[in-house]
A and B are shown apart, each in its own frame.
Chain A
Amino acid sequence: MKKYLPILKDGFTLLVISTIFVSVCNQVFKGLKKNTQSDPLVTAILQDNRDSAKENLTDATRANRPDELGRTPVMWAAYVNLADAKQLQETDGKRAELVALLAQSGADLNLQDRDGWTALMWAAWSGVPQVTARLLENGANLTHTDRQGNTALMIAVQRGNTEVVKALLAQGADGKSALNLLKDAQAKYPNRNEAYQAIASLLSQG
């Protein structure tokens, strides 16, 4: 045991030094940024965990609490960034349930984040038609614009999200302003040409 004692002593000393160093770093950096904690409700939403989300949804204030970028839990529920169509579809179904839950809990669906985005704009960008439908059913506004003057429909058109465009047009969104964006989007993303052609036909009908 005697021969191990100096090694253990060194190990313990290094552990203590490291821990003190880490604690000092933690205090310094915590002071530099206001909010370093994550919101358990948002984590539950991003994990598509309905039970955990329900547990964290105590009242309407909780459902509308924004993060440092002004994003509310319902905006997080409307945001998905996946390229795989199958995974996106699965997530869309789960998130639609969460949006309904948040709406029932008193979430304001028309709040805007720092850039003026609403939950509907996030859904339009993400390409989640079921979430879009839930938001529209619960009174999401179609006419809000962001800092750059984009509406939810304009965002969905640029992204080539046909189903979302269809849902928004069905609710009476104005397709004229979005038509101009189509040409530019087609030139940038030729791989989405099929979607853009379908959108062009929807916009011309609408």
Chain B
Amino acid sequence: MLKAAQNYFAEFKVLQSVTKEFWLTNAIIFFDSLAYFSMMNILTLYLTANCGFSDVESGAWTGIFSLYLTAFVFAVGSICDAIGVKRSFYFGMLMLIASRLGLGVAPELLKGASLEYTVKGMIILLALGSAFITPVTSTALRRFTSKENRSTGFNVYYLIMNVAAIFAGFAVTDGFRNSLGELKGNLAILDFGFLMSIFCFVCVYFINEHQVADEDERAPSTDEKARRPIQIFKEVWKESAFRKLVLFLALTLGVRLVFTHQFLVMPKYYTRVLHGDFDLGLANSINPAIIVVGLILLIPVINKYNTFKLIVVGMTISALSLLFMAVPIEWTLAIPGIRNLDQAYLFIIYSQIIVFALGELIFSPRFTEYISVVAPKDKVASYMALSALPMFIAKPINGFISGMLISTYSYDGIRAKIDTGNISYRESPEFMWMIYFLLAALSPFAVIAMKRTLTAAHAAKKAEEAVASAESAPVQA
């Protein structure tokens, strides 16, 4: 374990030669992730408590935010190459500054329909601004790193993003909500996001985009990644490999959507089965903390195993994590040492978070690998970009469903009724989680059912690569 950690950090030595632009980009990632994750932790709560949206509406609008975010990522991917890194950053940041400020002050200044429509408009603007960040930061990192230190550079990026997610939870979310209360705390978190966007804006100002590490990266990318998304989609949709991939991704949505529950369902679930001032930020910090530790210690060990097995094992673990919250709460109360509902709910919540994160750590990186395996060699980037399609469709549907399930099974005040024995299993939050568990449990079964297709594609690709490398190898006398 210690060796794995030493090896992980030893790799960072290659970053001694990177320019200040690389570190400024990482500072932007850190500040923006702090703002993004702290906002996501409270978005549904903010929409309900501060803006008066019902559970159904707040779930729907959190889902709609994700939908527009995914859609705009498709659209702005090619903008960066057209207008440059710095201008793209400026555009994105200006939209983030305006939307985060708008969301932070609107409930104080407006009410009724004007508040509702302003907030909805700001959410769409926020989605557009956030959509700029991912493609622009990855382009910036590509340009500000050389071939030698690029993969380490991206590892640092992933690490920094997760560290920011940890701090966004227990420090920012809980810090503001505990000291200012729910209503003012939520607004302060959004205002904090506005401040972080200004910090990002200042960092962008100091970036010199001509400081490119490799001359090859100076010119706008002409590879397929830079082409327009609709054009790419029209091309690859005709291929049976792509359609199979979409089917596979759709079948595995149940488990992959559990990650979105962290922001859609969990905040309301936590604050309703426990109490309104529950440290939800701390709970949401556990997942990125496990990912960070896992990245350093577990990934090198896990990588030795077969991809298919890892997907099945990881998905099964992640799906099973929901079972903690899906079984009748009386079963949890029967565990020795658990005396009351507070302890029972804390136990199932933390167990679910930890077990899900371990499963996610195993299966999530395998997905990217799988897509690259089934994609034809010249279309890997197109397949990668369009692999978000099932998620694009599922996110808003999940938003609406989550809102409806919460308003039925985890409504505000349900804990009082659970305490006094008025809630049967069929009416309980546990039943809601049983529905989510059954959806998630479909994923590993679907992967097993598609084993032949998946492994055949993998084998064919390997054989093709073996032939290609044999043909290109120098003939020995």
Contact = CB atoms under 8 A, between A and B. Distances in A.
Given A25-B396, A84-B277, A125-B419, A7 B53 contact: no
Interface in B271-302: 271-272, 274-278
Interface in A1-42: 3-4, 6-7, 10-11, 13-15, 17-18, 21-22, 25-26, 28-29, 32-33, 35-38, 40
Interface string A61-79: 0000000010100000001
A29 B60 contact: yes
Interface stretch (A96-104, A132-140, A144-152, A164-172): A144-152
A10 B420 contact: no
Contact of A36 (B57, B278, B419, B421): B57
A95 interface: no
Contact of B228 (A7, A21, A52): A7
Interface string B390-428: 000100110011011001000111011101111000000
A189 B340 contact: yes
B35 interface: no
Contacts, number: 135
B24 interface: no
Contact of B56 (A13, A29, A125, A126): A29
A146 B57 CA distance: 30
B422 A188 contact: no
Contacts of A26: 60, 400
B112 A36 contact: no
Contacts of B416: 79, 81, 117, 122, 125-126, 155
Contacts of A115: 417, 422
Interface residues of B, number: 57
Nearest to B50: A47
A204 interface: no
B95 to A, nearest CB: 13
Contact of A32 (B48, B396, B404): B404
A10 B230 CA distance: 7
A30 B56 CA distance: 9
Contacts of B112: 40
A37 B78 CA distance: 39
B172 interface: no
Interface string B42-73: 00000011101110110010001001100110
A82 B183 CA distance: 13
Contacts of A197: none
Nearest to B420: A150
Nearest to A3: B82
Nearest to A185: B340
A94 to B, nearest CB: 11
B79 interface: yes
Contacts of A15: 68, 71-72, 75
Nearest to B404: A33
Contacts of B230: 10, 13-14
A162 B387 CA distance: 57
A14 B419 contact: no
A69 B141 CA distance: 53
A11 B72 CA distance: 7
A162 B401 CA distance: 40
A79 B272 CA distance: 12
A71 B470 CA distance: 74
Nearest to A46: B49
Given A38-B48, A158-B420, A22 B396 contact: yes
B404 A7 contact: no
A43 interface: yes
A58 interface: no
Interface string A157-193: 0110000000000000000000000000001111000
A165 B160 CA distance: 52
Contacts of B397: 25
A67 to B, nearest CB: 9
Given A36-B403, A79-B412, 7 more contacts: A11-B72, A26-B60, A29-B401, A47-B183, A81-B413, A125-B416, A125-B419
27 contacts: A3-B82, A4-B83, A6-B228, A10-B230, A14-B74, A14-B230, A15-B72, A18-B71, A26-B400, A29-B60, A35-B54, A36-B57, A36-B403, A43-B52, A52-B111, A69-B413, A71-B413, A79-B413, A81-B271, A81-B272, A81-B413, A83-B278, A115-B417, A122-B413, A146-B420, A150-B420, A155-B416
Interface of A: 3-4, 6-7, 10-11, 13-15, 17-18, 21-22, 25-26, 28-29, 32-33, 35-38, 40, 43, 46-47, 52, 69, 71, 79-84, 87, 115, 117, 122, 125-126, 146-148, 150, 155, 158-159, 187-190
